[in-house]
């Protein structure tokens, strides 16, 4: 489309009116809400007719990517300052992408030949965004247009805290009522992640189950990173969960004590001596966590065999935050050992930790709240991009199958 599209939708990009076989450099620029500039550039040669269609013309070597990559200018966007992560906080306003065509393949590029702006939106027309402040719950509910009720999902992000709405918002565009739930460092919630109480999450589940725009009898959970093991704990101890999808999640409780009534699950042990720091000062923390199958660390393994739901594990095989594939495999073994249904495990070679909705550029390394320095997230940009596109479809299909029937 010409002026506006949804962020997770592919775009068709073409340049017309060039000279036959003219060499040009295309550049995409996006400034996020923190004011960080992200850019990607690629070298191209127009066809004999002076047209350049990114769906048919491969990018030449020497830019941010090469080969036939119709969406390369978006997935290859990189911050101009190191260790910055493209974050969307306000889903009601689109990101604006500036596209420019420059003459030649020089560094810096030649004169500007053409430019266009395009809006990448998050909120589809008709989707309602409802701030939720019920009891202790601090969240935002997204409800699709049309006659509900719709399959309901609670969406949890990782250890960064605050309230992130963009994934919940994009998911609601496909016919789900989705609650983006904050669990610390937001408004009057605890400032630090010292311990989590499942009673808070139970309130959110009951809110969804009682909502007239949520189709019962159960709801889905979607969790990334720390949000993943919180979802496993919710599914294991709380009622009303039908389907749980984890994106590079853990099956052990990580980082903080978890409490529910008289139950306490300690966090998995860590050994900071196992952090490896490279010459750029970036930490690789993949070996920091203890093994939840050994010694006292067994107490941190969440008893997911108690869950009455179906599981989907989305795994980036180059995740450097922790061993996501190991967690998925051990979770599967434990479920099957207790006579439960085998979970779906979808593995992506070359995908790192931060598997986001489609076309978010891969973040190779950024500051980690708990480590206090930049850490390596893993991933190879092209493989990671492909994984995000496929995982997004897998997640939707999983929830449609188990929540919508």
Single pTM value for the model: 0.96
What are the pLDDT digits (tens) for 53-102? 999 999 999 999 999 999 999 999 999 999 999 989 999 999 999 999 99
Helix (DSSP H) and strand (DSSP E) numbers for the chain: 6, 23
> Is residue 403 over pLDDT 80?
yes
Q: Residue 135 has what pLDDT?
A: 96
Upper half-sphere CA count for residue 291 (Cβ side, 13 Å): 5
| Centroid of chain to Cα 331 | 21
- pLDDT above 90: residue 1: no
Q: Distance between CA 36 and CA 350 in Å, rounded?
A: 26
Q: Are 175 and 152 in contact (CB under 8 A)?
A: no
Residue 111, pLDDT above cutoff 90: yes
Chain-centroid distance of CA 361 in Å reads: 11
**Which pLDDT score is estimated for 367?**
87
pLDDT per position as a tens digit, 312-321? 999 999 999 9
With beta carbons less than 8 A apart as the criterion, state whether 221 and 146 touch. no
- Chain position carrying tokens 């009720």: 149
The Cα-based distances of 65 to 9, 26, 217, 220 in angstroms read 20, 11, 47, 37
157-203 per-position pLDDT tens digit: 998 899 999 999 999 999 999 999 999 999 999 999 899 999 999 99
Q: In the prediction, which pLDDT does 87 show? A: 87
Q: What are the DSSP E strand ranges found in 85-159?
A: 95-103, 112-121, 128-132, 139-143, 150-156
Token pair belonging to 34 = 């923190």
DSSP labels for 296-317? GGGGGB--GGG--SEEEEEEET
Active site residues: 225, 319, 353
Quick: pLDDT tens for 32-62.
999 999 999 999 999 999 999 999 999 999 9
Which tens digit of pLDDT belongs to each residue from 234-260?
Answer: 999 999 999 999 999 999 999 999 999
Confidence band, pLDDT 50/70/90 cuts, at residue 404: confident
179 vs 380: CA distance, rounded Å: 31
What do you get for the CA distance between the two ends of the chain, in Å?
33
What was the pLDDT predicted at 91? 97
Q: What are the phi and psi torsion angles at 238 (to 5°)?
A: -110, 155
Q: Is the peptide bond before 246 cis (omega within 30 degrees of 0)?
A: no
pLDDT, tens only, 124-166: 999 999 999 999 999 999 999 998 899 999 999 998 899 999 9
């Amino acid at each position: 489309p010409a002026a506006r599209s949804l962020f997770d939708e592919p775009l068709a990009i073409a340049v017309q009116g060039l000279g036959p076989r003219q060499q040009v450099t295309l550049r995409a620029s996006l400034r996020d809400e923190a004011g960080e500039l992200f850019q990607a550039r690629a070298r191209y040669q127009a066809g004999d007719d002076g047209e350049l269609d990114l769906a048919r013309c491969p990018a030449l070597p020497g830019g941010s990517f090469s080969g036939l990559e119709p969406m390369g200018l978006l997935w290859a966007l990189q911050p101009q300052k190191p260790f910055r992560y493209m974050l969307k906080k306000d889903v009601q306003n689109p990101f604006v992408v500036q596209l420019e065509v420059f003459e030649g393949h020089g560094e810096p590029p030649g004169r500007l030949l053409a430019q266009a702006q395009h809006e990448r939106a998050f909120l589809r027309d008709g989707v309602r965004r409802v701030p939720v402040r019920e009891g202790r719950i601090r969240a935002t509910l997204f409800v699709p247009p049309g006659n509900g009720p719709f399959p309901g999902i609670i969406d949890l992000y990782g250890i960064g805290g605050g309230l992130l709405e963009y994934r919940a918002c994009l998911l609601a565009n496909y016919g789900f009522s989705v609650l983006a739930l904050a669990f610390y460092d937001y408004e009057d919630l605890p400032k630090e992640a010292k311990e989590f109480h499942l009673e808070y999450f139970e309130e959110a589940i009951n809110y969804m189950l009682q909502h007239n725009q949520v189709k019962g009898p159960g709801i889905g959970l979607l969790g990334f990173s720390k949000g993943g093991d919180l979802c496993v704990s919710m599914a294991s101890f709380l009622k009303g969960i039908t389907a749980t999808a984890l994106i590079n999640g853990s099956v052990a409780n990580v980082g903080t004590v978890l409490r529910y009534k008289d139950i306490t699950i300690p966090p998995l042990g860590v050994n900071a001596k196992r952090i490896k720091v490279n010459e750029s000062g970036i930490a690789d923390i993949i070996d920091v966590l203890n093994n939840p199958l050994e010694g006292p660390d067994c107490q941190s393994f969440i008893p997911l065999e108690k869950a009455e739901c179906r599981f989907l594990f989305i795994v980036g095989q180059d995740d450097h935050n922790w061993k996501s594939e190991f967690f998925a495999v051990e979770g599967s073994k434990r479920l099957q050992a207790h006579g439960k249904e085998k979970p779906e495990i979808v593995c992506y070679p070359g995908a790192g930790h931060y598997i986001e909705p489609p076309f978010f550029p891969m973040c190779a390394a950024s500051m980690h709240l708990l480590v206090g320095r930049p850490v390596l997230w893993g991933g190879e940009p092209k493989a990671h991009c492909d994984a995000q596109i496929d995982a997004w479809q897998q997640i939707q299909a999983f929830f449609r199958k188990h929540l919508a029937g």
